[in-house]
Amino acid sequence: MKTPSLVSQTVSLLAATAARAEPPAVNAVRSIGVAEEGAALRLEIAGSRPPSFTVFKLSDQARLVVDLASADVSAITAPVTVGKGGVLQVSVAQYKDDRSSVGRVIIALDGAPKYDVAAQGNSVVVRFEAPPPPAQPH
């Protein structure tokens, strides 16, 4: 009887390890909070682990979209009407298949507010600047 070579044993071990590899832990989005900070508006998307995300803006029906990789937003009650700071409403959508899970947060905008997006701990924070006051007629 022929004994397996070291190479075939190593390949078998690697294949068995890869088959048992677990998918990354899902980032369970627990809340979406909105707070005024002086003249600015702060929207915080709080999850269970540090987020991996992408942000893009849609121009038809002005919206800002935050896609969270390996995330689940199904526990969020939405839509939430905001109606201030350049934000009309916040809604969510969940996309999932056998290989990935993407939680999407859709922020309906009022006009084109300036914004900044950053990860802070287990959250994604979107900060909207207050619009400038209207010009005074002379």
Number of domains the chain contains:
1
Q: For residue range 89-117, what is the model confidence (pLDDT) as tens digits?
A: 999 999 998 888 999 999 999 988 999 99
CB atoms within 10 A of CB 53: 18
| Burial (CB count within 10 angstroms: exposed 0-12, middle 13-18, buried 19+), residue 32 | buried
Q: For residue range 14-47, what is the model confidence (pLDDT) as tens digits?
A: 444 444 455 568 999 999 999 999 889 999 999 9
Q: What is the pTM of this model?
A: 0.78
Asked if residue 8 is part of any domain, the answer here is: no
pLDDT at 4: 54
CATH value at residue 63: 2.60.40.3500
Interatomic CA distance for residues 45 and 123, integer angstroms? 5
Asked if residue 56 is part of any domain, the answer here is: yes
- Give the domain range for residue 36: 26-128
pLDDT at 130: 74
Interatomic CA distance for residues 124 and 87, integer angstroms? 16
Asked if residue 104 is part of any domain, the answer here is: yes
Look-up: residue for tokens 């009650």?
77
